[in-house]
Amino acid sequence: MTETAAIAFVPPDLSVLADHPGRIVLFAGEGGRLDTGGRRVGRLMRGSLGRFLASPAFARMKPGDAADLTAPAGLAAEAVQVVRLDRKASLEEARRAGAAIAKGRGQGDVLVLAGAHPRAADIAFGVALRAYRFDAHRTKSDEPPPSGTVAFQVARPEAAQAAWAPLSAVAEGIRFCRDLVNEPANVLTTQAFADRLAAMAGLGLAVEVLDEAQLAELGMRALLAVGQGSAAPSKVVVMEWRGGAEGTAPLALVGKGVVFDTGGISMKPAAGMEEMTMDMGGAAVVAGVMRALALRHARANVVGLVGLVENMPSGTAQRPGDIVRSMKGDTIEVINTDAEGRLVLADVMWYAQERFRPRALIDLATLTGAIIIALGHENAGVFANDEALVGAFLAAARAEGEGAWRMPLAPAYDKALKSTFADMKNVGGRPAGAVTAAQFLQRFVQEGCAWIHLDIAGVASLQTDTDLGPRGATGWGVRTLDRLIRERFEG
């Protein structure tokens, strides 16, 4: 199962502090300043809290850092957690504070003395993101999952709850995205993936699953070629959220959903191949965004399309040297069957434009190892043909603290894709591999369509913990895209 945190907002009640059996969290600002709840805890602790706040240990703490005072005198609580946070804290600092609370959780209830802190909902968001654990396939654990409610005592519970509601929807979208990426490929098959997306019809999304016969009828032979070596049937899932004005063209989000990537006949090295369960990360982000939009009843028209395939070697797999025809009609010489994601995206992007005539198109894919060489695991690669759209996206990414770096597009790179026998090759060699992949995709963007390509290979899943999540799937992009939609496509 997936572990998260139950969060509640309740009115202040300082009478419960002495007897609260779990953990108590309080916020201390510059110089150890405390609010009413914190001062009450200080009096109950008979001076020990004040001594800590006057110590070098507190002085060294940065905004969002936390320290535990265990077995506090004068309280029944197992610990008092002191979080360094001012009332003028930034969004990032507030979320880091929430993450610190989540990391300190145990088996009991947590009482957070937030008082009149204006960032209470953002702190709760940090709690929700960092409390995530993916234990679906554990039968036992040396470290039992935390349990209990995280209750925020706030001066205005109704206002805090109203601020929390849309953030809760985004947190659920991120959880859903992380679950999809963390699932093994024998569980999250193309059919199982499609079933999970189809179930979101219960949230108000219009969901359509296209099977192989329908894809062949549409001419999606580039996508179908990727999956032809697998026993798992290829699919395209279309999710529509119609929360905006009737007749307004939607934003289209397109995700690569390769549920497992062996590389096909161009087989990947065995070492690390188990990580290729995350090669559907782009599709997972699209699904997470669509879930968040439905849950928060976004006032925008957005369509999410994902191509679900499995890239396997077999007697029916596509071969290096094969030539396939895309839905657009262009022919592609397959030089390397491990450059399969762009074949999937090419057909789904074209279909999205032909069917929905979107206001803008954004595709996401764990597309190239080259982007990791260029940017590491700190930033996704951002390629775009529209300055206003990419400017808004990068501003949203900065606001949400999700790393994103603009990369170049230029006709000079096209010569690397020139084929002797077809309209193009699917790879352009090692130099500028992420750029030539983006140049390939740009050929499937129609004239006048504002477009962003996000190469998320380095950020979709990490081998280390982050401030807001444990090792594994990050959910990168759900926060940024939700903010972009709120600021540019709603209203």
Contact 259, 335 (CB under 8 A): no
What's the mean pLDDT when you consider all of the chain?
Answer: 97
Q: 191 and 95, same structural domain?
A: no
Select from 155, 185, 202 the last residue of a domain: 155
The string of pLDDT tens digits covering residues 219-233 is: 999 999 999 999 999
> Any catalytic annotation for residue 342?
yes
Alpha helix (H) ranges present in 105-144? 120-130
Is residue 327 domain-shared with residue 213, that is, in the same domain? yes
Catalytic residue among 342, 359, 479, 483: 342
CATH number at residue 77: 3.40.220.10
- Is the pLDDT at 141 greater than 90, yes or no? no
d(CA 266, CA 125): 43
Residue 160 domain-assigned? Answer: no
Examine the domain organization and report whether 70 and 194 are in the same domain: no
Asked whether residue 25 is assigned to any structural domain, the reply reads yes
Dihedrals φ, ψ of 482, to 5°?
Answer: -65, -45
Q: Are residues 349 and 430 both part of a single domain?
A: yes
Q: Does residue 4 have a pLDDT over 80? A: no
268 is catalytic: yes
My answer on whether 360 and 485 are in the same domain is: yes
Give, in order, the Cα–Cα distances in Å from 285 to each of 3, 365, 442: 19, 9, 21
Q: Give the residue numbers spanning the domain of 276.
A: 170-489
Residues 442-468 have pLDDT tens digits of 999 999 999 999 999 999 999 999 999
> What is the domain-level CATH number for residue 413?
3.40.630.10
Q: Given this model, what pLDDT does residue 303 score?
A: 99
Q: 330: left (phi > 0), else alpha (psi -120 to 50), else beta?
A: beta
| Domain identity same for 140 and 186 | no
Over the stretch 427-446, which tens digit does the pLDDT of each residue have?
999 999 999 999 999 999 99
Residue 138 pLDDT > 90, yes or no? no
Last residue of a domain, one of 155, 188, 215: 155
Q: Which of 155, 190, 208 is the last residue of a domain?
A: 155
Domain membership flag for residue 163: no
Q: 196, 242, 268, 299: which one is catalytic?
A: 268
> Residue 66 in 3-state DSSP?
strand
